Structure 1
Amino acid sequence: MHGTRGVDVAEAIDKAPVSAVQKRAIGLCIAIAVIDGFDAQSIGFAAPRIAEDWETAVSSFGPVFSLGLVGMMLGGMIFGPVSDRIGRRSVIIGCTVMFGVLTLVTSQAQSVETLMALRFLTGLGLGGITPNLIALAAEYAPARLRTTVVTVVVCAFSVGGFAGGFIAAWLIPALGWRGLFIIGGVIPLAIAAVAYRYLPESVRYLTVAGRTEQAAEIVRRINPSIPPGSVPELPGTTTTEKSSIVSLFADGRTTRTLILWAVFFMNLLVIYFVLSWMPSLFGQAGLSSSTALIATSLFNLGGVVGGIVIGRLSDTRDRPFGTIATAYVIGAVFIGITALAFDIVPVLLVAVFLIGVGVSGSQTGISAVAAATYPTNTRATGVGWAYGIGRIGSIIGPTLGGLLIGIGLAPVTIFTLTIIPTLLAAVAIMQLARVVADRSGTKKPGASSAEVLETT
């Protein structure tokens, strides 16, 4: 090894302009996230037509929706740790093929029971891909753009769902609901073929896994100034530590992990509560169905806008926690304004958009924080379990809404109650800021949150 020298992979990425390799990796992550978001919501678009064809009540699809969410929850918890052991690339391509094939099979379903099984299995692939897209994108992004890149990837899931509604409105009348699932299955398989050819493995994962020759080749393509023969390294990261759930609580990460889980839980509880019940609650309050649907679309659009704004603000500040907490408070304030303005439609629609900016937009911010909290050899596990715990909230939120409606609470009261978990998320993220500040004081006086969270 005489004549060789070590090169810090993180430093090499951070100091170089964004290369073609990075753009390709991040671009493919975004493309896969869009089709993932489309396929995740496709059953919701198709359910009314399926119910009509099968002459059954739409309410019978409740278990289909729930089992899909359970599958997504388990997928993140299972495939996050798997990718920390075998690599991001293999799991991303495998999960894409998995949900593509199962979506195609869904087009041939003949009963609600079959749909329940298929949506659960499809959910495993859809949920399994989320933490790995976030991890791979974060590991290829330079520190100066990392939060923005993660934000765009997370927003891409919402864009897929948002665009999917318009696509479904055209496809279902033209090709039927089976055509929707055929298209939704063919596209991910095509993208998986492209990813097989062009998606690179995470250079940080390759370094940690000891595959230094492959890592060195990619590092030199990212930063041509690296001398030939340099050996990629990630100082402070061991190549022997294996990913496991226990590793999420190692090296002083216990408090951060538990707080992140609480924030994800509260955030996804509110998001799925709003998406599931806002049209019904607004309808019960006397608003037209068209107004209710427009409000739901504006909530999704607000999430995309809020996510991008929060991402850019977070990348320009040393400590992003205040930005995220402020967004949650804005969301809570406009939940209250929405409750007061049920009979003033223009104000209501603007308020719902801003709820999306604050609450749904913050999901992207906390995703970036989660990606930065864990080292390379446990990053996908950490993000996958954060999303998994959060998806428990996504199941409880709609269920709780149904119970509150069942006991006869007024729609305005039910909607107003979502202020509580929104403010709890704000409190939790500020508690995380204090934990990080304490850790920065012990590790390196004057260090920023990004430096303390970023553990390569």
Structure 2
Amino acid sequence: MNAFVANLPRLPKREEHQSVNPITLIRSLTWLQHAFFASAWIAWTCDAIDFFAVSLSVTSLSKVYDQSTHNITTSITLTLLFRPLGAIIFGLLSDRYGRKWPLIANLVACAVLSLGTGFAATYGAFLGVRCLFGIAMGGIWGQCASLGLENMPAEARGLFSGILQQGYAFGYLIAAIINLYAVPKHDYRILFFIGAGISLFAAIVRLLLPESQYFAERSAAAKLEGTQVSSAQKSKIFISEAGKALRLHWIRCIFAILLMTGFNFYSHGSQDLYPVYIEDGKGLSKHTATVATIMGNCGAIAGGFIAGWASQYLGRRITVIVCCIWTCCFLPLWLLPNTFPGLGAGAFLLQMGVQGAWSVVPIWLSEISPVAYRASFPGIAYQLGNMVSAASAQIETTAGDTLKTPEGLPDYGKVSAILIGVVSGWLIVCCIVGREDHGAHFERGKAAFEKGGGLDEIDDRHDRLPEPRGDEEKGSVAHEEKGQVQQREIA
């Protein structure tokens, strides 16, 4: 009982959230830190564009392939089911070989498969391409979280976690704008073609940047040691350390998967069928549904920025709890109005809560993950949660077949509202019984290809390694706090 009480969410210690005006935080970064973060944010944004292109095209796809809405949403389910495979493949490659080339290959694969979706001639081909796209999509998030946050000063990570995660909402926003203005002039395929172009652009941006500062420092550490290990030996060490990390952190693994199952039901339950809910349930036009979607994503971006920054002061878990309560308070406004002004306001305020809670996820998972496996652990946990929640769209459409509006249409709004309320409760429970490692200096841990990496060993030589190229004076924020970091306790 004492252990349970001691683990309850509480405000971080004062020394763990020094200062800080968000403008000061942003200005404190070097140009290279900004560039790394921008590259990660663009990659995650284009990932969202490619994914939501299907959600926004359900009606058109139903007509093209002569399939029901339920059958078209099967593609969403399949995409989510295959994402853990991509997280495993690309996450492990990133932890072993670095943040640069695995992400470039991943983005090129997304671009090719997005194009393939637009050219799919049959329903079977469409499903096959979306399965492959799920593998490609699954690798993006973990790599983006590690690249974007491991190069940040610890005190800036809450704010930038929120900004990074809202690349997802911004991608949805871009897809909705394309759907609003470009699709009527062409057809739904333009969504997939533009998404492919943005993915290639993101790959080019990453190509122009160097390897992550973290991996550069670990290479410098090997040279400082005076020992060079072959690639084959590094791979053997990598596999051995992964086993150690799994034995040490298996409880955290289970917690992270349960947490991300709730989070993925949270977002997909409020987004996947929202355009269908507005069109069929409220009888509004496709144009109006798209505008409401845009308003919701504006709310998501605002909520992500505010909640991410606030999590540096409130802690990760308290921030999520506050956002879940906020979401439930605005469920009636999201559900009950029948005109656009009320529905738009409801979408804005509800998505503020949903994506405000999500804004904490990148930094929370990064802080509790084995330090050497920051691309694979968060990414795999995220996508396994996605896999468990993969049937959310089909669950909603099936429930809609039995829960009808007075006009006899599926009541997707009520179904989604019930799901959102239940999942809010689940996330609050996870926050109460779970743990966080607020302010962890995970950038000081050994890499996965080094002995001791799986045990979260800290390399004290970090302070003596050469600074990365860039504006060192401004970037020194990342190295100001030199206190001793202890090896983590077992979760």
| Shorter-chain TM band | 0.7 to 0.9
Q: Give 4+ residue runs of structure 1 displaced > 6 Å after superposition.
A: 451-455
Shift of 1:86: 1.8
The residue that corresponds to 2:16 in the other structure is none
Residues 247 and 378 of structure 1 are in contact (CA less than 8 Å); yes or no, is this contact kept in structure 2?
A: no
Q: Does 1:301 align with 2:309?
A: no
Identity of aligned residues (%): 20
Shift of 1:266: 1.1
Q: Does 1:212 align with 2:223?
A: no
Q: Does 1:109 align with 2:116?
A: no
* Farther off after superposition, 119-128 or 328-337: 328-337
Shift of 1:206: 4.0
Shift of 1:429: 1.4
The residue that corresponds to 2:199 in the other structure is 188
Alignment CA distance shift 1:195-1:427 (3 Å):
same
2:429 is matched by which residue type in structure 1?
Answer: V
The residue that corresponds to 2:254 in the other structure is 258
The residue that corresponds to 2:183 in the other structure is 172
How do 1:236-275 residues align onto structure 2 when only pairs under 5 Å count? Answer: 240=237, 242=239, 246=243, 249-251=246-248, 253-275=249-271
Cα shift readout 1:152-207 (whole Å, capped 9, x = no counterpart): 12111221121112123333344444444333323322332332122x22222344
Q: Does 1:429 align with 2:439?
A: no
- In structure 1, list runs of 5 or more residues that go unmatched: 1-13, 217-228, 232-238, 440-450
Residues 46 and 177 of structure 1 are in contact (CA less than 8 Å); yes or no, is this contact kept in structure 2?
A: yes
Cα distance between partner residues in 2 of 1:40 and 1:453? 39
* Farther off after superposition, 281-290 or 351-360: 281-290
Q: Does 1:333 align with 2:343?
A: no
1:39 is matched by which residue type in structure 2?
Answer: D
Residues 264 and 386 of structure 2 are in contact (CA less than 8 Å); yes or no, is this contact kept in structure 1?
A: yes
**Of residues 396, 399, 404 in structure 1, which corresponds to 2:394?**
399
Residues 84 and 138 of structure 2 are in contact (CA less than 8 Å); yes or no, is this contact kept in structure 1?
A: yes
1:382 is matched by which residue type in structure 2?
Answer: F
**Of residues 150, 160, 165 in structure 1, which corresponds to 2:171?**
160
* Farther off after superposition, 317-326 or 253-262: 253-262
Aligned residues: 402
- In structure 2, list runs of 5 or more residues that go unmatched: 1-24, 227-233, 406-410, 441-484
How do 1:78-157 residues align onto structure 2 when only pairs under 5 Å count? Answer: 78-157=89-168
How do 1:435-450 residues align onto structure 2 when only pairs under 5 Å count? Answer: none
Q: Does 1:75 align with 2:86?
A: yes
Cα distance between partner residues in 1 of 2:300 and 2:283? 23
Cα distance between partner residues in 1 of 2:117 and 2:282? 36
The residue that corresponds to 2:450 in the other structure is none
Cα distance between partner residues in 1 of 2:265 and 2:486? 29
2:415 is matched by which residue type in structure 1?
Answer: I
**Of residues 380, 389, 395 in structure 1, which corresponds to 2:384?**
389
Residues 248 and 382 of structure 1 are in contact (CA less than 8 Å); yes or no, is this contact kept in structure 2?
A: no
Alignment CA distance shift 1:73-1:294 (3 Å):
farther
Shift of 1:294: 4.2
Shift of 1:312: 0.9
Alignment CA distance shift 1:180-1:285 (3 Å):
closer
Residues 77 and 394 of structure 2 are in contact (CA less than 8 Å); yes or no, is this contact kept in structure 1?
A: no
Alignment CA distance shift 1:303-1:255 (3 Å):
farther
* Farther off after superposition, 180-189 or 240-249: 240-249
Alignment CA distance shift 1:280-1:257 (3 Å):
same
2:400 is matched by which residue type in structure 1?
Answer: I
Shift of 1:94: 0.8
2:108 is matched by which residue type in structure 1?
Answer: V
Cα shift readout 1:279-304 (whole Å, capped 9, x = no counterpart): 44455654534665444433332222
How do 1:333-412 residues align onto structure 2 when only pairs under 5 Å count? Answer: 333-336=329-332, 338-339=334-335, 341-342=336-337, 346-408=341-403, 411=411
Cα shift readout 1:246-269 (whole Å, capped 9, x = no counterpart): 555444x44433333222111211
The residue that corresponds to 2:49 in the other structure is 38
Residues 243 and 378 of structure 1 are in contact (CA less than 8 Å); yes or no, is this contact kept in structure 2?
A: no
Residues 73 and 394 of structure 2 are in contact (CA less than 8 Å); yes or no, is this contact kept in structure 1?
A: no
Cα distance between partner residues in 1 of 2:354 and 2:138? 21
Shift of 1:308: 0.7
Alignment CA distance shift 1:301-1:248 (3 Å):
farther
2:211 is matched by which residue type in structure 1?
Answer: E
* Farther off after superposition, 415-424 or 381-390: 415-424
Residues 45 and 165 of structure 1 are in contact (CA less than 8 Å); yes or no, is this contact kept in structure 2?
A: yes
Backbone CA RMSD of aligned residues: 3.3
Cα distance between partner residues in 2 of 1:22 and 1:166? 30
Residues 77 and 381 of structure 1 are in contact (CA less than 8 Å); yes or no, is this contact kept in structure 2?
A: yes
Cα shift readout 1:408-454 (whole Å, capped 9, x = no counterpart): 36646534422121111012113224x769x9xxxxxxxxxxx8899
Structure 1 length-normalised TM: 0.77
Residues 131 and 380 of structure 1 are in contact (CA less than 8 Å); yes or no, is this contact kept in structure 2?
A: yes
1:370 is matched by which residue type in structure 2?
Answer: L
* Farther off after superposition, 89-98 or 349-358: 349-358
Residues 114 and 133 of structure 2 are in contact (CA less than 8 Å); yes or no, is this contact kept in structure 1?
A: yes
Residues 47 and 61 of structure 1 are in contact (CA less than 8 Å); yes or no, is this contact kept in structure 2?
A: yes
* Farther off after superposition, 281-290 or 158-167: 281-290
Give secondary structure in 2 for the equivalent of 1:201.
coil
Give secondary structure in 2 for the equivalent of 1:88.
coil
Residues 242 and 377 of structure 1 are in contact (CA less than 8 Å); yes or no, is this contact kept in structure 2?
A: no
Alignment CA distance shift 1:179-1:342 (3 Å):
closer
Cα distance between partner residues in 2 of 1:169 and 1:248? 47
Alignment CA distance shift 1:335-1:86 (3 Å):
same
Shift of 1:34: 2.0
The residue that corresponds to 1:288 in the other structure is 284
